[in-house]
A and B are shown apart, each in its own frame.
Chain A
Amino acid sequence: MASALGSPSAFGQSQFAFMRGNAFEARVKADGGAELLRLVHEKLDARAEPPTSGVVPDLSAVGPEGRTARTALALREATAAGVWTLLDHPLLALEVAGSPAFLEPDAVVVHPDGSWTVVEIKSFPMLDGSADAAKVGAAARQSAVYVLALERVAARLGAEPEGRAGAEGRSAKEDSAEPEGRHAQDSAPAPKVRHTVLLVCPKDFSNLPTASAVDIRKQRSVTRRQLDRLTRIEDIADALPEGTCFSPDLPTPDLTVAVESVPATYAPECLSACELAFHCRDRSRAEGAVTSLGRSLRAELGGLTTVADVLSASRGESGDPTDPAVAALRRAAELRAEALSGGPALHPEASGHAT
């Protein structure tokens, strides 16, 4: 779609990164996940019996719905069996803005006590025991979404009476908010989803895996709040003019009109997150929005939201001088001009007699 709008996204993956990432993941999961289970045991659950041979259930099924159902079933069986189990690329569903989104974590491990752990395998190195904080943060946010999705599954498993696999739990929503709590009286307790995930990375400059436990409680509650606040897609769709269509096959002007009918709040952070960023940036710049330079500007500039408004207020051509934001802007403009003109050199090294 970004390409069809004439502002193709800059995202792409180098095949070198791709190959190396895959090779590392394969290595971590080799031998029935022996190394991976060992790391989970060592870092998260050292008191449990050490894994000898892990179970790796087959999760293949037709279509995303089939795969999520297969995943849920495998989770239930593994939880009941109480043995170390590795779910390789399970598929989870999570409702986002009112429609289901499918998520595929690198792995989920079921512990002998029936609790579940999300595993993220990344190819950035853990150097002398610590990895790039920004990358760890991104991985934690990603894992938090998986944990939320797993909690939904856990809640459903807890809610369903024996023998009714796949049935939707009535109170899945409330339950997920308190995943560690016991569930309704007449059913088994919901399995526990651990809020500490395992981040597996190459050690130093090698291809040997090393891992670290990451507590994602904070990211989880932030994500949960964001998900709760999202406008439902249906509501957005309802607000659009009849017949709006986002097909990339449309002629560019039509597609542009369609895209512009959806409100967007571009900020520079979009550049590293969204494929439409160049399109939205063009639009934001064309509107002269100050936030195209950074979100923080909004707070700094009070009610002034466009470049032209701010500049004219700062020059004294518009704006209410009793508005503190306007007054501060004018003073800033004065001071800036004074310093740049080299005018009365009011700075300490140059203090001297006024003429």
Chain B
Amino acid sequence: MSLITTLARLEAVDTGRAQPLATVRHRHLSDRPLVFVPLTTAGEAGAPLGALVGTDRDAPRLLVVPQPRDRDLRFAFLAELADVVLPYIDSYAEDVEAAERNETDPETGKRVKVEVELCADAPQLIVPSRAGIDFVRLLGRSMRFRRTAEQDPETPHPAPPRVPLLGRWLTHYGERARVPGSSLLLALTDVLSRHWATGQSSLEDQHLGALLAWIDPPDDESGAEAALRAELQRDAKGQLVCPPAGPATDPAFDNKLLAPAIERYDRARTALAAAEDGIEADDRLGELTAAERQIRDLVASRTRPTWDAVWRGLDLLRALPEGAHATDRWTRDRWSFTGHRDRVLAGEPPQPRRDDAVTAANKLATREREQARLEAQEALDDPLVMAGRRLAGEAFAGEVTDVVMAYSEGKRPSPRPLVTVRTDDRPHLGERAKVYRSLGGKPQAAEFVGYEGNGGNGEEQGGYGEEHGGYQSGGALDDNGALVVLRVVDKMGRGKEPETGSVPEKGDLVCFTLFEHEQRGGAKLPDPEETPWTHGGPPGETEATPQLHAPDAVTEEDVL
């Protein structure tokens, strides 16, 4: 945690309300996200118990598995889920725009530009919490190797037709969620706690109800009190008034309400099966329906508060303006979506159980690069994030006090103006360190020359980093801050005189970063693992042995 974040948390404790950690929204939000609030039956492997799902906050679709141990009922649940999710996904698959991409021509081995399609927008999935993301991944894994009767007439327990496809999509979304800054699948608690600091620990922030209570407490209550209530308050029956956001349920709910209801359902089923004539069967069917109804009501009662909370959280986030680069990262998400669409269309097999070494290494490299990109972009989009980088000595801001024109040596001298910036920050500037500022959205580089009044030589100074070690200031620093002399080295045009506006002027307020603004890896291009094999494919994928796609062994006690 940076000291600025810590301060925000402590201020939240003090004021009883969450405090901002961002001035803009750092994640793209779709106009029409699909919200998914799943519940599982306890027993760890995550058998679905039910879910609310949909794009209309007033009309969620309730899906329920009245007896989670029954495979047919689970399949029915998954089929229904596919009926909601797949049409939603499909509705984004067809609206495309033309785009270009560099590819290696398989015959000549040369890099060529090809025209490809890019989906104009992408479907976005929102779950309440991080555990929800894990569950999406788990569902995806459990479904993508299933066989339908059409694929394999011999298969012992054929899955409903669209279930394996849903598994592939959920797997893709689950994998994408591991990429820093991506927004195809978001956990609301993560996004909210990125933007607000509460007066509780980050562990406690994973409780959606408590988190919202801090961010948006009721009028007559402090965030702390409301959060405590959300966490702990129980009704007369011993049930949590604010049920956990799932997918795990509260044990008290399982034991006191759900277990008896499932028992009743089981009894009604047995009785129906034993009915001897039509009239008796009718009666018993009535009882079965009633028992099922009861379970549905129970599941609805535990998911609806979370469902409403998710939409409330989305409202809060929407009130923040979207950061400029969040849109840019969403474009990468659209590439990711388009790439997977193409793989499905091309008839590729489902994602393998385990990545081969090359794919795994690529994914890791992608994540590291995206992490660096995210950190740079968030700072560029948001002065509050930049403040943290300045405090850490990774950026500095101040007023330009002097500009001296200078030129490079050589046959065709280019402008290399010397710019002096007065700053109160303590950047970690090493000798000839490169620094960058944003000029019309593009990074302009400069080189650290030295501190004025300090012999002009670069001297390492500390920031206000965690260790506070650097606080003792260098010689050039007094109450008026330090005078940093920089040499601007690019983005000034080709002429001898720099283009207008390309060099800071005296009196300008500027902010330079010590980190690069852009990451190599091609802006807005799809990541290697998302390149379908029709386009050169990820390496190693073709060698995948067929057994990697074999269906799972099925046993009577399966839970998913």
Contacts and interface: CB of A to CB of B under 8 A. Distances in A.
Contacts of B9: 293
Contacts of A123: 43-45
B3 A300 contact: yes
A324 B471 contact: yes
A346 interface: yes
B42 A17 contact: yes
B399 A294 contact: no
A17 B253 CA distance: 13
- The size class of the interface chain A forms with chain B is 35 or more
A354 interface: yes
B214 to A, nearest CB: 12
Interface string B492-526: 00000000000011011111110000000000000
A128 interface: yes
Label chain B's interface by main secondary structure: mixed
B553 A21 contact: no
A207 B4 contact: no
B553 A16 contact: no
Contacts of B398: 346
B453 interface: no
Contact of B511 (A128, A332, A347): A347
Interface in A261-298: 268-269, 271-272, 278, 285, 288, 290, 292-294, 296-297
Interface stretch (A105-113, A229-237, A336-344): A336-344
Interface string B221-242: 0001000000010000000000
Interface residues of B, number: 83
Contact of B509 (A302, A314, A342, A354): A354
Contacts of B388: 335
B449 to A, nearest CB: 20
Interface in A320-349: 324-325, 327-329, 331-333, 335-336, 338-340, 342, 344-349
Interface in B523-556: 552-556
B254 interface: yes
A352 B142 contact: no
A99 interface: no
B11 A311 contact: yes
Nearest to A128: B353
B471 A300 contact: no
A342 B382 CA distance: 10
Nearest to B138: A127
A354 B387 contact: no
A119 B305 CA distance: 41
Q: Which of B3, B7, B258 has the most CB of A within 10 A?
A: B3
Contacts of A339: 23, 382-384, 386-387
Interface of A: 10, 12-17, 19-21, 23, 122-125, 127-129, 202-208, 268-269, 271-272, 278, 285, 288, 290, 292-294, 296-297, 300-302, 307-308, 310-311, 314, 324-325, 327-329, 331-333, 335-336, 338-340, 342, 344-349, 351-354
7 contacts: A10-B232, A208-B553, A293-B9, A327-B464, A327-B471, A331-B424, A336-B387
